[in-house]
Amino acid sequence: MSTQKAQKIVNDFVITFSTINGSGSATANNTLLRALFKMGIPVSGKNIFPSNIQGLPTWYSIRVSKQGYTARLAMDDIVVAMNPVTVARELKYILPNGVLFYADHIQLPEGRSDVTKYPMPVQAIVKEAAVPSELRDYISNMVYVGVLSHILGISLEDIRGSLEFHFKGKQKPIQSNFSIVEKAAKWAEQNLTKRDPYTVSPLHKTADCIMSDGNVAGALGSLYGGLQFTAWYPITPASSLSESIIEWAPVLRKDPKTGKSNVVVVQSEDELAAIGMAIGAGWAGLRSMTSTSGPGLSLMTEYLGLAYYSEVPVVIWDVQRVGPSTGLPTRTAQGDITSTYFMSHGDTQFVMLFPGSVNECFQFGWQALDIAERLQTPVMVMIDLDLGMNQWMTKKFEYPTTPMDRGKILWEEGLQKMLDKRDGDWGRYLDIDGDGIAYRTVPGNQHPQSAYFNRGTGHNEYAKYSEEPEVWERVMNRIAKKFETVKKYLPKSSISHMQDARNGIIAYGSTDPAVEEARDRLKKQGILTDYLRIRSVPFGKEVEKFISDHKKCFVVEMNRDGQMKQLLCANYPDHANHLVKTCHLDGLPLTAQWIYDQVSFEGK
Amino acid sequence: MVQPTTDQKTNKAGLSRMDYKGTPSTLCLGCGHNAVAAQIVSACYEMDLIPEKVMKFSGIGCSSKSPTYFLNRSFSFNGVHGRMPSLALGASFADVTVKSIGISGDGDTASIGFGQFKHLVRRNLSMMYLVENNGIYALTKGQFSATSEQHLALRRQGINPFTPIDICMEALVSNATFVARSFAGDPKQLKELIKAAFKHKGIAVLDVISPCVTFHNQESSIHSYVGGKEHEVALQEISFVPAREEITVEDFEEGDTREIVMFDGSAIVLKKLDKDYDPTDRWQAMHKLEEAQKKGWLLTGLLFVDEHSPDLFDVYQMPATPLNRTPNEELRPSRDSIDEINKMMF
């Protein structure tokens, strides 16, 4: 025992749960995740699931990290095997001298004598409990919660606390689940001897943090941003964003007069209609958004071209998954970067925001609505399945720091003042302030001169149909000017330096934790890096400076073709030779190890 | 902008006919769509509408150009092909006191926009959805549309092998609450049906056979002026009576009239030409359309109406005040709520 104590590994390991889709394992996994978080230990959870409702293998990994690292690791320290079909595969992913917990009805393959193996009498414990037979499968996962709690040292009180939260205080399910946990923990106490080094111990590192996923955060941020209308069509991995609006709107946005939520939600017949509705609402003066993923965004592109050209504010969340085509619908990617940048036919531009954490999903949720109305254009918020659907430890949400910005909108009085000041000269697309942004009116305005004809066909400054060559060019150039003006409203890149670093890393979105961890590891090897995290497109001046200041910039991203690198090359051709394509896509979140390998190989 | 002048005749809203006009039509001389636009202007003038209380929507095609030719003082949005319904639906939530007119064509509604059309009908948005149906693609110079007659011969296309889609039938099976057909060559009936459709609470589908004089005016076709006139069978003579006006039935024989009271108290008075026809019976409407199709009639009139079904805003329990005038402070939750939210994020 004494030698094992010397090797004790505290608060620094990965557990992967291998279960069968639809068996209710999410409850068990979330229960453990929450209990660890409650103990003050930094955690992250990642669900690797199939496009299936019931029956196929599914994995859930919890990373426990005293340093606060939340990126995915490729290998497991501990595996909990509940699925006989995949156990041979799981054994291969266990690190040397790791641990396997397995349901004792599973026949283990030969080999891996280095691994400590703990059986769990899942069927016996469930059978013993007075649980209705139809609930047995769901509740059987609580056996590993109990066994693991005992072996790793998670207090049962914390487990109970997370069950209380999960079942919103409903005693019946709490009790039936908790009774299994208790039985299993007791069984472990009486029958298992701890032979592995892994253990947890309370820390105080989660006090300023919350646990949430990006889709919930995006929904909440939008509600704090005054969202009034959303139309959506179900698609993995974006659905839970709209569903969270449905869940939270009645809580946060109850109209004091009517007692009802003042947010309209429409489930449309497809994405073609979702974007049409969202654009209609945005045009008519509502704060409007939709959320989708790659295939849906492909369908929305024609309407978004019209919104760009006729200058309609609308927000679109793209929770990216692996494409092209149906691709890997339940796996993560950053693969819609170039297609969104160049979306729709003709000359177009789109504002893109890249939240890099769940906290930023909240922040960009309200900011996106402000930017869309300020600029009168579609704003794309680009996240991915990993950020959108997985549970992340993140900083507490902060109340919006600036008042709501409704942009240049004229109601009756404002329009009259404008007309008086300018001898009656107002046009919907007239650049009065010289910043490229015109003043708009919206339906319902009762001023007899407020109305205009919104069209995707050529139009002049007064919204009149025009095919005049110089009018077309003038209007398009004026629209382009807006995208210079917008830069002061966009979130700037976040930059962190290491003294004497010659090389840089450029990344965006969900890869941030893997990049930060890789930089720490590189530093230990004497490889110093500066880091720029892109938070918006069009790029700010700081991006060009960062690229020109560094001999090599590794553009880290989750796609095959280096899409952000392509955009950077197109924007800064003079510095293109500084940029190093550093991309990888297999459907799984990037690991720090992979980034480390690329940068240490090239970056010395 | 046009302001009413004292020497012009004005309606009860104090507006002259000029206040309802659009810019001059750029469609072909004699196009049925121009007749439709003219009747919309007349109907709106006679209904004393405030132009600022109307929004216009359209998709793509000759038909979809026509919102330019009426109600210059109303907001308008010309969307993408076949996807005007979603646009109108989203915009309508902004201000429930503003009523929508959607103008579409047979290509826009019965082909690319078929799904959106049927889903708009199913949601029962209070909106006049008027199809200018000429049975042809005209803006692209004469191809078959989904409502072209079977065996129609076109110079560059040959002979149409397929049966046409009946827009009224499609509306009926999707539970539309107002379905009517009219003919651009019958302006009197058209104007009264426009008024009724505009006042209807719920979706009002008005399929107007509107001849294309350039590409599809063959006299054998009901989509032509001559063919339409020859084959028109009207179900009723229709008069629209605004709310608070005495309904006088002296023009009608006893027992032959039927009065349908609309949501706002106005009424459609129908002098029944087909004595047994009941326009509140959906099944009968479908049966009648089937008969008309077999006999080669251009069946016009009010096919079906249901004034009692909840419309989209009833379903959503929308307040009467415009959503797009909600003050900012009612749109952002209070500062202290953020702590509560953070407590729940675990």
pLDDT band at A164 (very low <50, low <70, confident <90, very high): very high
CATH code at A525? 3.40.50.920
**8 Å CB contact between A151 and A200:** no
CATH number of domain containing A169: 3.40.920.10
The dihedral sign for the CA sequence A305, A309, A314, A315: positive
H or E segment and range at residue A179: helix A171-191
Residue with tokens 């063959």: B218
What's the pLDDT score for residue A135? 81
CA distance B158 to B149: 13
Instruction: Give the model's confidence band at A476: pLDDT under 50 very low, under 70 low, under 90 confident, else very high.
Output: very high
Question: Which residues in B53-68 are b (16+ Cβ under 10 Å) and which e?
Answer: ebbbbbbbbbbbbbbb
pLDDT of residue A7: 81
Residues A154 and A242 in one domain: no
A281 close to B90: Cβ distance less than 8 angstroms:
yes
Q: Are A118 and A225 found together in one domain?
A: no
**In this complex, is the C-beta atom of B323 within 8 Å of any C-beta atom belonging to chain A?**
yes
Helices (H), A329-439: 337-341, 358-375, 385-389, 412-421
As given in the structure block, the two tokens for residue A393 are: 């430890």
Confirm if A262 and A287 have CB atoms less than 8 A apart: no
Residue B247, chain A, CB below 8 Å: the answer is: no
B91 to chain A: which residues are within 8 Å by CB?
A: 280-281, 283-284, 443
Is residue A401 assigned to a domain? no
**What string of DSSP letters covers B224-276?**
SHHHHHHHEEESEEEEEE-TTS----TTS-TTSEEEEE-TTS-EEEEEESSTT
- Is there a contact between B90 and A454 if contact means CB atoms under 8 Å apart? no
Across the strands, what pairs with A393? Answer: A211
Burial environment of residue B110 by CB neighbours within 10 A (0 to 12, 13 to 18, 19 or more): buried
Token representation of residue A446: 């009762």
Enter the DSSP assignment of B149: P
User: By the 8 A CB rule, do B314 and A233 touch?
Assistant: no
Residues of A in contact with B323 (CB under 8 A): 228-229, 262, 264, 286
- Residue A262 CA to residue A259 CA, distance in Å, equals 9
Mean pLDDT of chain A: 95
Cβ of A253 within 8 Å of Cβ of B331? The answer is yes
Q: What is the pLDDT of residues B227-273, one digit of tens each?
A: 999 999 999 999 999 887 665 545 545 557 888 898 888 999 988 88
For residues A223 and A196, membership in a common domain is answered with no
Among B residues 59-88, those touching chain A with beta carbons less than 8 Å apart? 67-68, 72-80, 83-88
Whether residue A225 and residue B332 make contact (CB cut-off 8 A), yes or no, is yes
pLDDT at B226: 93
CB B255 within 8 A of CB B287: no
Q: In what helix (H) or strand (E) does residue A142 lie, and over which residues does it extend?
A: helix A142-152
Determine if the pTM surpasses 0.90: yes
pLDDT at A527 over 50: yes
Which of chain B's residues have a Cβ under 8 Å away from the Cβ of A226? 328, 331-332
Q: What element of type H or E holds A296?
A: helix A294-310
A98, A76 Cβ separation under 8 angstroms:
yes
Q: Which two tokens stand for residue B118?
A: 């049927």
Give chain A positions within 8 Å (CB) of B102. none
The verdict on A281 and A423 lying in the same domain is no
Q: Provide, as residue numbers in chain B, all residues whose Cβ is less than 8 Å from the Cβ of A227.
A: 331
Do A286 and B331 count as a contact with CB atoms less than 8 A apart?
no
Final residue before a domain boundary, out of A457, A482, A507: A482
> DSSP readout, B38-101?
HHHHHHHHHTT--GGGEEEEE-SSHHHHGGGGB-TTSEEEE-STT-HHHHHHHHHTT-TTSEEE
Residues A304 and A390 in one domain: yes
DSSP-derived 3-state class of residue A586: coil
Residue A604: which pLDDT band, with cuts at 50, 70 and 90?
low
| Structural domains in chain B plus CATH codes | 17-236+274-344 (3.40.50.970)
Question: Of B66, B56, B44, which is closest to residue B101 (Cα–Cα)?
Answer: B56
A29 lies in the same domain as A174: yes
Q: What percentage of residues in chain A have a pLDDT greater than 70?
A: 99
What is the Cβ-side half-sphere exposure of residue B229, based on CA atoms within 13 angstroms? 8
Within 8 A of B73 by CB-CB distance, chain A residues are: 448, 451
Determine, for residues B342 and A210 on separate chains, whether the beta-carbon distance falls below 8 Å: yes
pLDDT, position A1: 38
The pLDDT of residue B247 is 56
B29 touches chain A (CB under 8 A): no
With DSSP H G I counted as helix, E B as strand and the rest as coil, what are the percentages for chain A, rounded to 5? 40, 20, 35
Residues A191 and A218 in one domain: no
Residues A327 and A458 in one domain: no
pLDDT at A153 over 70: yes
Interchain proximity B342–A397, CB inside 8 Å: yes
Q: For position A138, what pLDDT does the model report?
A: 82
Per-residue pLDDT of A241-300, as tens digits, reads: 999 999 999 999 998 888 899 999 999 999 999 999 999 999 999 999 999 999 999 999
Which of A392, A376, A393 has its CA nearest to residue A384?
A392
Q: Which residues of B touch A271 (CB under 8 A)?
A: none
Distances (CA, A) of B30 to B27, B39, B69, B212, B213: 8, 14, 14, 8, 6
What is d(CA A100, CA A96) in angstroms, rounded to the nearest whole number? 11
Q: Which residues of B touch A34 (CB under 8 A)?
A: 346
Report the CATH number that the domain containing residue A385 is assigned in CATH: 3.40.50.970
Return the amino acid letter for B157. Q
**Together in a domain, A474 and A546:** no
Nearest to B324 among A258, A266, A285 (CB): A285
Q: Give the residue from A180, A203, A226 where a domain finishes.
A: A203
Q: Complex ipTM, two decimals? A: 0.95
- Is A406 in contact with B333 (Cβ distance < 8 A)? no
Residue of B nearest to A38 (CA): B346
B345 at interface of A, judged by CB pairs closer than 8 A: yes
Q: Which domain holds residue A499?
A: 494-602
Closest by CA position to A143, among listed A38, A21, A17: A17
Residue A191 confidence (pLDDT) above 90: yes
Instruction: List the structure tokens of B8.
Output: 């012009």
CB contact under 8 A, A280 and B95: no
Domain count, chain A: 4
Radius of gyration of chain A (CA): 27
Residue A406: inside a domain = no
- Which of A186, A203, A220 is the C-terminal boundary of a domain? A203
Give yes or no for B158 touching A (CB within 8 A). Answer: no
Helix (H, G, I), strand (E, B) or coil at A132: coil
Bond before A443 cis per omega within 30 degrees:
no
* Residue A404 domain-assigned (yes or no): no
Cβ contact, residue pair B77, A260, below 8 Å: no
- Do the domain assignments include residue A48? yes
Looking at residue A4, its pLDDT comes to: 46
CA distance A167 to A184: 20
Dihedral (Cα; A240, A246, A248, A253), 10-degree rounding: 140
**A:B CB pairs within 8 Å:** 206
Q: What is the pLDDT of residues A202-242, one digit of tens each?
A: 999 999 999 999 999 999 999 999 999 999 999 999 999 99
| A474–chain B nearest CA distance, Å | 21
Strand partners, A289: A230, A315
Statement to judge: residues A451 and A556 lie in one domain:
no
Summarize pLDDT for A84-121 with one digit per residue, the tens.
Answer: 999 999 999 999 999 999 999 999 999 899 999 999 99
CB of B89 within 8 Å of a chain A CB? The answer is yes
> Cβ of B55 under 8 Å from any chain A Cβ?
yes
Q: Are residues A268 and A391 both part of a single domain?
A: yes
Would you say residue A313 lies in a domain?
yes
Backbone Cα Rg of chain B: 21
> Using 50, 70 and 90 to split pLDDT, how confident is the model at A398?
very high
Q: Are strands A264-267 and A351-353 parallel, antiparallel or unpaired?
A: unpaired
Do residue A274 and residue B86 have CB atoms under 8 angstroms apart? yes
Q: Helix/strand/coil (H, E, C) string of A62-110?
A: EEEECCCCCCECCCEEEEEECCHHHHHHHHHCEEEEEEEEEECCCCCCC
Q: How far is CA A421 from CA A414, A425, A440, B73, in A?
A: 11, 9, 16, 22
Each residue's pLDDT, cut to its tens digit, for chain B (346 residues) gives: 445 555 579 999 999 999 999 999 999 999 999 999 999 999 999 999 999 999 999 999 999 999 999 999 999 999 999 999 999 999 999 999 999 999 999 999 999 999 999 999 999 999 999 999 999 999 999 999 999 999 999 989 999 999 999 999 999 999 999 999 999 999 999 999 999 999 999 999 999 999 999 998 888 888 999 999 999 999 999 999 988 766 554 554 555 788 889 888 899 998 888 888 999 999 999 999 999 999 999 999 999 999 999 999 999 999 999 999 999 999 999 999 999 999 999 8
The pLDDT assigned to B172 comes to 98
Contact with chain A for residue B296, Cβ under 8 A: no
- Nearest Cα of chain B lies from the Cα of A451 at a distance, in angstroms, of 5
The pLDDT value recorded for residue B253 is 54
Q: Which two tokens mark A215?
A: 């889709």
Q: Which residues contact A311 (CB under 8 A, 6 or more apart)?
A: A376, A377, A429, A438, A440, A479
Cα–Cα dist A486/A311, whole Å: 14
**Rounded to the nearest 5°, which phi and psi values hold at A566?**
-60, -45
A148 and A84 within one domain? yes
